[in-house]
Amino acid sequence: MKKHSFIIFICLLCCGCQPSYSKRIEKQLNISIPHYDKMTYRDNRGWFNDGEIYCEMSFLNNDIEEEIKQTNHWHDFPLNQDLQTFLKDYTNHFEFLQIKQGYWYFYDRHDLAIEHYNIKNLFTRSSYNVTIALYDTLEHKLYYLVVNT
């Protein structure tokens, strides 16, 4: 009996308690994420939650594009000029600027944000708490970025 309990404990530890990054991203972006081929996930936030979360998901096809098209807060490329400026000046993710075709998403999580999906007031504050997502339809990649300063 002890042996079976130990095996169940290990299975729960390995399977049931792992954070599901894709589920968190689905909730934030309000889309269902289909099976992905590869995921890269980095979280370098510190003590006060400052820093960033970066996730890159590769897909074998464009199934996720239909999900994106059905939501209200995704926009066709090209990127908004303010978003381009933010990505250039406040992140090290220059690969985002190389995307030629796809969709982009922006959500302002700052306490003072009134229009959370509008980037136009972003540069009026001294700190940033934003979620940015980009989907590259040519490379079948979803990029997810959370920036907290």
Domain residue spans in the chain? 19-148
Closest CA to 77 of 135, 27, 130, 128: 135
Q: pLDDT tens digits, residue range 78-105?
A: 988 999 888 888 887 778 888 999 999 9
pLDDT at 11: 40
Who has greater pLDDT, 65 or 49?
65
Q: Which class for 26: exposed (0-12), middle (13-18), buried (19 or more C-beta within 10 A)? A: middle
pLDDT at 3: 52
**Percentage of the chain with pLDDT > 90?**
21
How far is the C-alpha of 70 from the C-alpha of 85, rounded, in Å? 27
pLDDT at 74: 94
How far is the C-alpha of 135 from the C-alpha of 130, rounded, in Å? 17
What pTM, to 2 d.p., does this model score?
Answer: 0.79
Who has greater pLDDT, 44 or 108?
108
* pLDDT (average), residues 15-23: 58
